[in-house]
Amino acid sequence: MIRRVALVLLLLALVFGQWAVRVCFAQPKARWEVGQPIVHQNLVVFPVRILTPPPKTDFLTLKEAHQRNLVSIRELPNATVPEVLVENKSVKPLLLIGGEVILGGKQDRIVEHDFVVPPKKVAKVRVYCVEPGRWTPQELGEKFAPAMGVVAAEVRKSAQVEKSQQLVWHLNERVQHRLPAATPMSPSQSYRRVLTDPQIQKQTQAYIQAIQTQLFRDPKVCGMIVAVNGKIEWLDVFSDPSLFRKVAPSLLHSAAVQALSQRTQAKATRTPSVAEAKAFLEQTQRAQRKVKEFEIEHLRRERLETSSVVGFVTEVKPIAGEQKLMPALHMNAFRR
């Protein structure tokens, strides 16, 4: 009898525990509207504007942390390709965006998915290699420096969706071959060439400047839907417009590289309509949350899937003592 009671209590505790986790991560839904397209050559960006009152977030971005010497990124003591150590020296949570490029260590890498390192903590972060021809320290030794950019969209997608290191290498090489570079590809095939080549820099900056000025005119813009060569390809939407404004230059660089790498394939293409962009956003919002990909005490990521869209939602628990639940921090999705 005692054993039965104990078993019942254990089952109740497990059920309650699962319910409690869901409650802790329960998210109010934000409402958005899609703005008019901003066009530069074969790149189209639709601003996404938040209609509900946005939360106030206080995340430190990787760029900010690096500029203030508040982050350290280094190889593990026994270095492995898929993980690096990130130390947050700040009193604020540190946000890494999926696809951000870090240079140095034994080879250059990209962050797999969004990750939040709590204040004054050290965490292992999943990464993918974008420099297959090197496994030796260089000028930074075992340490890394952020490159202030997000990798080209198709490389980012291969890391997040297919989770294939081989595909990341293949697409990294393909993107570089397609770009109008002034310098040859390095023997290590590092993605850093995309960030430093003067010809690539000149042309990607032309894309970024043409889009960014118009994108930031509205203070309530919290994300963007991107089309290349007339096809809507992906989106990034944040709950906080001020956070989006901080990470948007890196995301726009990703979009610019993707558009530049496909510009020779562009023909006379029509600009997708606002209705098409809105439909893509709505498909992502309605997508079934099929897989809880990752969860730790303060952070959860879920995978979204439909027949035409695959994406991810990053959720963060409210700060201790706060009663109001936070909307999902970031949603990004790709066309299948």
Residue for token digits 């240079």?
103
225-284 per-position pLDDT tens digit: 999 999 999 999 999 999 999 999 999 999 999 999 999 987 777 899 999 999 999 999
Compute how many other C-beta atoms are within 10 angstroms of the C-beta atom of residue 172: 27
- When pLDDT is averaged across residues 191-217 and rounded to a whole number, the result is 97
Number of domains in the chain: 1
Write the single-letter amino acid at 100.
Answer: E
| pLDDT of amino acid 9 | 40
What distance in Å separates the CA atoms of residue 151 and residue 98, rounded to the nearest whole number?
Answer: 9
Question: Is 53 inside any structural domain?
Answer: yes
Residue 6 lies in a domain: no
| SS3 of residue 333 by DSSP | strand
pLDDT, mean of residues 298-310: 93
What does the alpha-carbon distance between residue 278 and residue 299 come to, in Å, rounded to a whole number? 28
In 3D, which of 234, 243, 251, 216 has the Cα closest to residue 328? 243
- Over pLDDT 90: what percentage of the chain? 78
CA distance linking residue 266 with residue 149, whole number of Å: 24
- On the question of pLDDT at 7 being above 50, the answer is no
Find, among 236, 207, 242, 211, the residue nearest to 223 by Cα. Answer: 236
Mark 72-89 as b/e (b = at least 16 C-beta within 10 Å): ebbbeeebeeebbbbbbb
The DSSP code for 129 is E
Inform me whether the pLDDT recorded for 11 exceeds 60.
no
Give the confidence band of 88 by pLDDT, cuts at 50, 70, 90.
very high
Q: Is the pLDDT of residue 20 over 80?
A: no
Q: What is the pLDDT of residue 35?
A: 98
Nearest CA to 189 among 201, 202, 176? 176
Span 41-72, pLDDT tens digits: 999 999 999 998 888 889 999 999 999 999 99
Q: Do 46 and 277 form a contact (C-beta atoms < 8 A)?
A: yes
**104-130 pLDDT, tens digit each:** 999 999 999 999 999 999 999 999 999
Domain that holds residue 188: 25-335
Three-state DSSP class for 196?
helix
**Is residue 309 pLDDT above 90, yes or no?**
yes
What phi and psi values does residue 211 have, to the nearest 5 degrees?
-85, -45
In a domain, 15, yes or no: no
Strand-strand pairing, 60-61 and 94-96: parallel
20 occurs within a structural domain? no
Residue 114 lies in a domain: yes
Residue with tokens 């504007």: 49
Quick one: angle between helices 241-261 and 165-178, nearest 10? 70
Q: Check whether 165 has a pLDDT greater than 50.
A: yes
Angle between helix axes 198-215 and 241-261 (nearest 10 degrees) is 140
How far is it, in rounded angstroms, from Cα 227 to Cα 185? Answer: 27
Q: What is the mean pLDDT of the chain?
A: 89
- 3 state DSSP class of 221: strand
What length is written for the chain?
336
The pLDDT tens digits of the residues spanning 141-155 come to 999 999 989 999 999
103 three-state secondary structure: strand
Residue 12 within any structural domain of the chain? no
Q: Residue 204: inside a domain, yes or no?
A: yes
Q: Any bridge partners for residue 129, and if so which?
A: 109
CA atoms of 231 and 229, how far apart (whole Å) = 6
Q: Is residue 18 part of a domain?
A: no
